[in-house]
């Protein structure tokens, strides 16, 4: 198959009976706008939508927020969940009555109904990836999912970097990915007195792939997940699909990625959507390591999150008296 490389700023949306909906998005900042809910309320804020209703999504609203120096998004609550990951610059986020100064690699989870605000008190622009679920209402719907309560607390001025060693810190964290030799590096410090680690900080590793959950049920999420994926050279995920949507935002490295039966070449800053039933796979056979942020919406079920076409082809060939068995 030949790799498909859309031109800069082009949105490709595909839907086939065999593979389901998918989208490939290259950034085009001329399309960035202030979300309609915040028009006339925010200062110096705009957002580039990557995945949403326009790309065929119903659960995943993925984009990049941008806040100018001195910019501010007022306190509000959403009828939905949201997560963000800081890409560039510094931003202050208010979650209920706490405020945190976040830097690249920091992330936050905003539960449904939580008071949230953000500001940029630095001299440089701030950018972050955010994902919300479900997809936001459009003005023509006549409905709202974002509300601005009067009398909401304003604690932006009290912001400080999060204490990542605080065992009560639940909605904010930090993660920048793994190094190729992360297991060897982890045991170089003395065994006694080493930084606390356990299932809460654990990595899931398989087939040359490392996965670190950032936002999931452990942080109280019920509608979405956010996690980071590192692919070593030779890392591979075989073709599969899910009963939920997955969004991808590529951070480092380049790779070919099979999506809905086609091969696309992704670079840092690109984004993609694999809809329900859309087959996808990645074989990192060339170049170097690859890293991306990934989202899921809704939260995957406890069972039957994956469906592997090759396994069902084999079942059909072995037990149903038909079908073309694949090696």
Is 153 among the domain residues?
Answer: no
List b or e across 55-65, with b for residues whose CB sees 16 or more CB atoms inside 10 angstroms.
bbbebbbbbbb
Given a cut of 60, whether residue 208 has pLDDT beyond it is yes
Is position 165 within any domain?
no
| Model pLDDT, residue 200 | 58
Q: Is the pLDDT of residue 5 over 50?
A: no
For 157-161, the CB contacts below 8 A with 24+ separation are 157/99, 158/99, 159/92, 159/93, 159/94, 159/99, 159/100, 159/101, 159/121, 160/99, 160/100, 160/101, 161/100, 161/101, 161/102, 161/103
Nearest to 163 by CA among 171, 155, 151: 171
Label residues 136-158 b or e (16+ Cβ within 10 Å = b). bbeeeeeeebbeeeeebeebbee
DSSP letter at 13 equals E
Residues 133 and 204 in one domain: no
Could you tell me if 102 and 204 lie in one domain? no
Q: Is residue 105 part of a domain?
A: yes
Is residue 208 domain-shared with residue 111, that is, in the same domain? no
CA 181 to mean position of chain CA atoms: 25
Residue 118 lies in a domain: yes
Q: Measured in whole angstroms, how far is the alpha carbon of residue 87 from the centre of its chain? A: 12
Cβ–Cβ contacts within 10 Å for residue 159, how many?
20
Domain contains 173: no
* 202 shares its domain with 310: yes
Q: What is the CATH number of the domain that holds 278?
A: 2.60.120.10
**Structural domain includes residue 304:** yes
* Predicted local distance difference test score (pLDDT) of residue 152: 92
Residue 144: C-alpha distances to residues 137, 148, 285 (Å):
6, 11, 46
Query: Same structural domain for residues 200 and 309?
Result: yes
Say how many domains are in the chain: 2
Res 42: pLDDT? 98
Q: Does 16 or 105 have the greater pLDDT score?
A: 105
Does residue 118 contact residue 72 with C-beta atoms inside 8 Å? yes
Tell me if 154 is assigned to some domain. Answer: no
**Tokens 């007022």, located at residue:** 74
- Are 54 and 63 in contact by the 8 Å Cβ rule? The answer is no
Q: Are residues 202 and 308 in the same domain?
A: yes
CB 86 within 8 A of CB 102: yes
Domain carrying residue 304: 182-188+196-319
Q: Is residue 175 part of a domain?
A: no
Q: Both 88 and 203 in a single domain? A: no
Query: Residue 72 pLDDT more than 60?
Result: yes
Q: Which of 176, 175, 165, 172 is nearest to 92 (CA)?
A: 172
- 3-state SS assignment for residue 36: helix
* Alpha helices by DSSP H, the chain: 182-186, 309-319
- 206 pLDDT band (50/70/90 cuts)? confident
Give the pLDDT mean for 70-91.
98
**Rounded Cα distance, 259 and 185, in Å:** 35
Contact in structure between 112 and 79 (CB atoms under 8 Å)? yes
Taking only the tens place, the pLDDT of each residue in 261-306 is 899 999 999 999 999 999 999 999 877 999 999 999 999 999 999 9
């Amino acid at each position: 198959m030949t790799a498909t490389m859309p031109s800069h700023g082009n949105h490709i949306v595909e839907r086939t009976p065999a593979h389901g909906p998918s989208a490939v998005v290259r950034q085009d900042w001329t399309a960035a706008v202030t979300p309609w809910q915040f028009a006339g309320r925010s200062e110096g804020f705009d957002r580039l939508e990557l995945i949403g209703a326009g790309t065929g999504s119903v659960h995943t609203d993925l984009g990049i927020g941008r806040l100018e120096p001195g910019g501010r998004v007022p306190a509000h609550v959403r009828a939905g969940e949201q997560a963000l990951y800081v890409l560039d610059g510094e931003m202050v986020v208010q979650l209920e009555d706490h405020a945190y100064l976040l830097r690249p690699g920091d992330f936050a989870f905003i539960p449904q109904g939580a008071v949230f605000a953000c500001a940029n008190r630095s001299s440089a622009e701030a950018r972050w990836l955010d994902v919300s679920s479900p997809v936001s209402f459009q003005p023509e719907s006549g409905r709202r999912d974002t509300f601005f309560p009067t009398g909401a607390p304003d604690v932006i001025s009290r912001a400080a970097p999060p204490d990542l060693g605080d065992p009560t810190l639940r909605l904010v964290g930090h993660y920048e990915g793994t190094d190729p030799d992360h297991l060897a590096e982890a045991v170089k410090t003395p065994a006694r007195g080493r930084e606390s680690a356990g299932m809460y900080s654990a990595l899931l590793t398989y087939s040359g792939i490392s996965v670190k959950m950032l936002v999931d049920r452990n942080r109280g999420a019920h509608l979405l997940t956010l996690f980071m994926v590192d692919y070593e050279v030779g890392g591979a995920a075989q073709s599969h699909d899910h009963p939920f949507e997955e969004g991808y935002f590529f951070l480092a490295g380049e790779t070919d990625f099979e999506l809905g039966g086609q091969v696309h070449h992704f670079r840092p800053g690109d984004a993609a959507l694999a809809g329900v039933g859309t087959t996808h796979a990645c074989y990192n056979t060339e170049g170097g390591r690859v890293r991306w942020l990934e989202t899921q919406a809704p939260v995957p079920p406890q069972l039957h999150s994956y469906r592997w076409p090759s396994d069902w082809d084999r079942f059909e060939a072995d037990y149903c008296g038909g079908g073309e068995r694949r090696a």
